Amino acid sequence: MDLPVLVCGAGIGGLTAALALARTRCRVVVLERADQLAEVGAGLQLSPNATHVLADLGLLEPVRALACEPEAIRIRSARDGSDLARVPLGATIKARHGAPYLVVHRGDLQRVLADAVHATPAIDLRLGTVLTEVDVGESSVSGRSPAGLRQVSGTGSALIGADGVRSFVRQSVLGGPPARFSGRTAYRATVPADLVPGALLRETGLWLGRNAHLVHYPVRSGKEFNIVALVEEDWNEDDWSAPASRPDLLARFAGWPSEARELLDLPDHWLKWALCAVDAGTPWASGRTALLGDAAHAMLPFAAQGAAMAIEDAAVLANCLAEKGKSVTDALLSYQSRRQARVARVQRTAAENARIYHLGWPVCLARDAVLKRKSPEALLARFDWIYGWRPPRLGNA
């Protein structure tokens, strides 16, 4: 391809795609509306299917240096605090899938990716550039920013919409649907790790309650502790970082076991994020345009796979565009057909977890009994199809 690939969005998906494309000797222009890559979001769990891609890009060690490697996911009941199951991670999952399961602050992961982008001459990252107009021609795609902004955009061989859940490229270029609000909200906060009992810093905690659940794990090489409370409520604003009412949140968890309430009591400030979804079955590719990450398939975070799927997309997209003898249009269609069924299955799993995690009494008793009976091997085997995925070879163009 003579022209660079235009990538709209410098989130986890867009930056990973730029690096993967550069590996296949593509030039890339990344257009990002933010003036700087701020530390938005909080923690991310990165399972081996995603860390394999980071390893292929030579970024596993810098990410690992800022991340933590939990020993297990400890699942507990919010009715009485009892243990329901323990999914082994750490050395067990690394031996099983050949790459680690990490927990990392989104800002740290984005910074490692952005540093690698800055160090790659084939990638031109243009901050402060909102893509608002696109012309798709027979042999090129051009994108423009509105007049008055510091930068104008460019012309490329393909346009990749990695512009998140409320994607402009999905809706305005591909004519796709708006994101659907799920009726659930995530409250997110981080606190200094020394406020938290040491045992909690070695694992991911998951508490299951009626119409709500709680997830926590360490981030920032164990210096901070990430807490996410997911509740059912009717609030839907487009922001990674809307301030949330602490008293309202604490009131919602008033009947929970003291250990959970003590954690929720720690942060002075909470941010909230409306959980939206985009059906992975709607078209991701047409002509010279394709979608990636949340723009294509935003999902509920109940399988902790949204960013992981964006990272997988990036590796497959670069591999498809590098295939010799294929037109850009065919390469993008091939990318869509190699990704869509898997991502749709992950989305269904996340939606199913959303139902199961939030069951109320008495049906939760059946769920709890099933979880208590499962062996560690059975718990791990359930996720082999997700975590056992391997990226295609990059750089073989």
Ligand X SMILES: Cc1cc2nc3c(=O)[nH]c(=O)nc-3n(C[C@H](O)[C@H](O)[C@H](O)COP(=O)(O)OP(=O)(O)OC[C@H]3O[C@@H](n4cnc5c(N)ncnc54)[C@H](O)[C@@H]3O)c2cc1C
**Residues forming the active site:** 217
Which of residues 105 and 188 has its CB atom nearest to ligand X in the complex?
188
Q: Which residues contact 303 (CB under 8 A, 6 or more apart)?
A: 346, 349, 350, 353, 386
Applying CB under 6 A, which of residues 31, 73, 113, 354 lies at the interface with ligand X?
Answer: 31
Q: How many residues does the chain have?
A: 397
Helix or strand run (H / E) with residue 141:
strand 141-144
Site for ligand X in 208-247 (CB under 6 A): 228
The least CB distance from residue 26 to ligand X, in Å, is 18
Helix or strand run (H / E) with residue 314:
helix 306-321
Which of residues 45 and 157 has its CB atom nearest to ligand X in the complex?
45
Write each residue from 57 to 96 as x if it is in contact with ligand X (CB under 6 A), else as -, in one continuous string: ----------------------------------------
CA distance 391 to 316: 7
Candidate segments 118-126, 158-166, 191-199, 342-350, binder of ligand X by CB under 6 A? 158-166
- Residue 3 touches ligand X, criterion: CB under 6 A: no
Cα dist. 101→10, 91, 120, 190, 259 in Å?
24, 9, 27, 20, 25
Write each residue from 279 to 298 as x if it is in contact with ligand X (CB under 6 A), else as -, in one continuous string: --------------xxx---
Helix (H/G/I), strand (E/B), else coil: 114: helix
- Residue 10 touches ligand X, criterion: CB under 6 A: yes
- Residue 273 touches ligand X, criterion: CB under 6 A: yes
- DSSP annotation of 170 reads I
179 φ, ψ (degrees, to nearest 5):
-65, 150
Write each residue from 167 to 206 as x if it is in contact with ligand X (CB under 6 A), else as -, in one continuous string: -x-----------------x-x------------------
Candidate segments 12-20, 78-86, 94-102, 339-347, binder of ligand X by CB under 6 A? 12-20
The least CB distance from residue 248 to ligand X, in Å, is 17
- 87 CB neighbour count, 10 Å cutoff: 22
- 185 CB neighbour count, 10 Å cutoff: 22
Residue carrying structure tokens 């994101």: 179
- The footprint of ligand X (CB under 6 A) covers 8-14, 31-34, 41, 44-45, 130-131, 162-164, 168, 186, 188, 228, 273, 293-295, 301, 304-308, 310
